Amino acid sequence: MIKSNLKRFEDYLAAKGHSKKTGASVVKGVRQFEKWAISQPFKKTVNATYSEILLYIKHCTTSGNAKKTVSLKLLFLRHYYEFLVKTGQATQNPVEGMQIQGVKRNILHNILSREELDKLYQVHKHPGLTGQRNKVIVGLFIFQGVRPEELALLQVSDIDLKSGKINIPGARRTNARTLDLQPAQIMEVWEYIQNTRPALLLQTSKTTEQLFISAGNGVNLPNTLQYFLSQLKALDKRITNLKQLRASVITAWLKVYNLRRAQYMAGHRYVSSTEKYKINDLDGLIEDITKYHPL
């Protein structure tokens, strides 16, 4: 990778929220891969295939790298090829989906950064009553990290627009908590409660205090959420499910708040449930690998 491209790659990592130290470690890992690639028939890393990545794994293993170290090097390359694909330098990511057998899997892939979550909210625009309703739902998923079952339990009375807060009721797997509404959400929520929701009630002839209602005859939201998820996938192909959004939100919280605060915000009953999201932070992962399995 030429120097100018290296700088672009470092800027890409920084834009995703990674620290300078993390960026330096990732670039170092990519340089190691490129140094090895020069001795191979394909020479240039942009031309590497799945099979050639397997050869690199074998090279790292026979060089004495621990499984966790090899796994981290693959994570570096996954970031690298994501960058190459996004900048049009490569057509595919040969590392996507590759895993090292025998390494405990706590890493959740395709975690969106806080900036990417914010952008997703900004670009989500769909017309009509259901589009306006879904905009509010998007906000609750990417700002408050709600679970689908919590969404179904929300009542109109759980929204306090005057204080800019939302009371999220406890569900089967989560505790109740009170969280701030973000400034970008408040007007959308106000519009939904004052105008959109009453119009949906009138259209469907329903009488309920449930905050979110479907446009059909039923009162449940599964079909609504499936359609809503398809809208998000159309906006960002990396999105696979709603758990991914919640994981991204919790991972972002852990970069800003202490563990106990993040636990409360996520509604986790046990702090261990929150701790597992720490592994999604590449900064923390690099620290662990450097300490116990030096690169």
CATH number at residue 204: 1.10.443.10
Rounded-to-integer distance, Cα 253 and Cα 259, Å: 9
The DSSP 8-state label assigned to residue 88 in this structure reads: T
Region 181-204: mean pLDDT is 95
Average pLDDT, the chain: 84
Under a CB-based contact definition with an 8 Å cutoff, are residues 50 and 92 in contact? no
pLDDT digits (tens, 9 = 90+) for 241-293: 889 999 999 999 998 999 899 999 999 988 878 877 875 556 555 554 454 44
Q: Are residues 237 and 268 in the same domain?
A: yes
| Most confident option among 65-79, 92-106, 184-198, 234-248 | 184-198
Is the pTM higher than 0.85? The answer reads no
**Residue 227: predicted pLDDT:** 81
Quick one: what percent of the chain has pLDDT higher than 70?
87
pLDDT at 130 over 60: yes
Please check whether residue 126 lies inside any domain of the structure.
Answer: yes
Q: Is the domain of 56 the same as that of 167?
A: no
The domain tally of the chain equals 2
248-268 burial, b if ≥16 CB within 10 A, otherwise e? bbbbbbbbeeeeeebbbbbbb
Task: For residue 19, tell me if it sits in a domain.
Answer: yes
Angle in degrees, CA 60, 66, 69, rounded to 5: 75
**How far apart are alpha carbons 60 and 39 in whole angstroms?**
14
In this predicted structure, what is the pLDDT of residue 190? 97
What's at 77, amino acid-wise? L
Task: Kindly state the greatest CA–CA separation across the chain.
Answer: 71
Average pLDDT over residues 225-243: 86
pLDDT score of 168? 96
* CA 54 to chain CA mean position, Å: 27
Residue 60: CATH number of its domain: 1.10.150.130
Q: Output the pLDDT for position 102.
A: 59
Range of the domain at 258: 114-280
Given 75, 105, 135, the domain boundary residue is 105
* Same domain membership, residue 195 and residue 161: yes
Percentage of the residues of the chain whose pLDDT score is greater than 90:
34
pLDDT on residue 292? 40
- Could you tell me how many residues make up the chain? 295
294 confidence band (pLDDT: 50, 70, 90): very low
* pLDDT exceeds cutoff 50 at 295: no
Residues 77 and 131 occupy one common structural domain: no
From CA 221, how far away is CA 218, in angstroms rounded?
8
Using one digit for the tens of pLDDT, what is the confidence trace for 3-48? 567 778 888 888 766 778 888 888 888 888 888 888 887 767 777 8
Q: What is the pLDDT of residue 283?
A: 57
d(Cα 62, Cα 36) in Å, to the nearest integer? 13
Same domain, 224 and 136: yes
Give the β-pairing of 165-168 and 177-180. antiparallel
Residue 232 lies in a domain: yes
- Is 78 in the same domain as 96? yes
End residue of a domain, out of 54, 77, 105: 105
83 and 121 belong to one structural domain: no
Question: What is the per-residue pLDDT for 293?
Answer: 43
Taking the C-alpha atoms of residue 146 and residue 200, their distance in angstroms, rounded to an integer, is 22
> Is 131 in the same domain as 274?
yes
Same domain, residue pair 80 and 129? no
